[in-house]
Amino acid sequence: MTTRPRDFQRSRAYAAEEASGIIDGPTLGSVGACRQWAESVLALPGLRATYPDAPCRVLVTDGRGRRRALADYDPDPATGLRRIRLPRWARSRAMVAHEVAHLLIDCRKVPGHGAEWAGAYLLIVRLGMGDRSGDRLEESFWEHRVKVSNPEIGLDNRVSSVPIMSSQSRQGKEDGR
Ligand SMILES: [Zn+2]
């Protein structure tokens, strides 16, 4: 039996992203569009420079029957890909960024929503959604006393933000991811 590091700032991290307003952005729509956006961000030089071991491809499934979005750091045995599951409500860019950040950080070694995860989330938001969203999230992390590690070397390698593919409105949301 393994003991995971305690996820000490999970509820503060949820409160912070909620208050930042960035998770209320337009939905990307289909799981395919979410995968495309996630892989575009994972391909950015700034992301690769900071997380050279990050996966280039991810499996995105629809989270059918689930209330929560989920990320599996361990690769899916059938495809060898790390997977995120996204119920319909969780398909804004920020929510995809939240889950993709979980694919970069091994929660058996560091807390699930700890400083390393928060740093990865912030970098993905900055690179994929732009500095305005990044600043809002960073400020909200600070206000909610969420510890953030600082992997910002990636920002020196930034090329441009990934454009949003579709802009349907979000369907509503539930707590927990
Ligand atoms: Zn999470």
- CA-nearest of 14, 16, 165, 15 to 92 is 165
Separation of CA 5 and ligand 1 centre (Å)? 14
| Cα 123 from Cα 137, distance rounded (Å) | 10
Predicted structure pTM score: 0.84
Q: What is the pLDDT of residue 39?
A: 98
Closest CA to 24 of 150, 133, 177, 119: 133
pLDDT-based confidence at residue 160 (cuts at 50, 70, 90): very low
pLDDT tens, residue by residue, 52-72 = 999 999 999 997 778 889 999
Q: Express as a percent the part of the chain with pLDDT over 70.
A: 84
With 60 as the cut, is the pLDDT of residue 130 above it? Answer: yes
pLDDT at 175: 42
How remote is the CA of residue 113 from the centroid of ligand 1, in Å?
Answer: 6
| pLDDT tens digit sequence for 32-45 | 999 999 999 999 99
Q: What is the pLDDT of residue 173?
A: 40
Question: What's the mean pLDDT in 138-146?
Answer: 96
- CA 86 / ligand 1 centre spacing (Å): 12
Q: Is residue 104 over pLDDT 90?
A: yes
CA of 13 to the centre of ligand 1 (A): 9
**What is the CA(112)–ligand 1 centre distance, in A?**
7
Q: How far is CA 113 from the centre of its chain?
A: 11
CA 166 to ligand 1 center in whole angstroms = 24
Q: For residue 92, how far is its CA from the centre of ligand 1 (angstroms)?
A: 14
Report the separation in Å between the CA atom of 167 and the middle of ligand 1, taken as the mean of its atom positions.
Answer: 24
Task: Please tell me the distance between residue 88's alpha carbon and the centre of ligand 1 in angstroms.
Answer: 16
Name the residues around ion ligand 1, CB cutoff 5 A. Answer: 177
Task: Provide the pLDDT for residue 167.
Answer: 42
Strands 70-72 and 83-85: antiparallel
Is residue 117 pLDDT above 50, yes or no? Answer: yes
**pLDDT value at position 67?**
83
The pLDDT value recorded for residue 18 is 96
Mean pLDDT of the chain: 87
From the CB of residue 154, how many other CB atoms can be counted at a distance below 10 Å?
A: 20
Given a contact cutoff of 8 angstroms between Cβ atoms, the answer to whether 141 and 15 are in contact is: no
Could you tell me the distance, in angstroms and rounded to a whole number, from the CA of residue 164 to the centre of ligand 1? 22
Structure confidence at residue 174 as a pLDDT band (50, 70, 90): very low
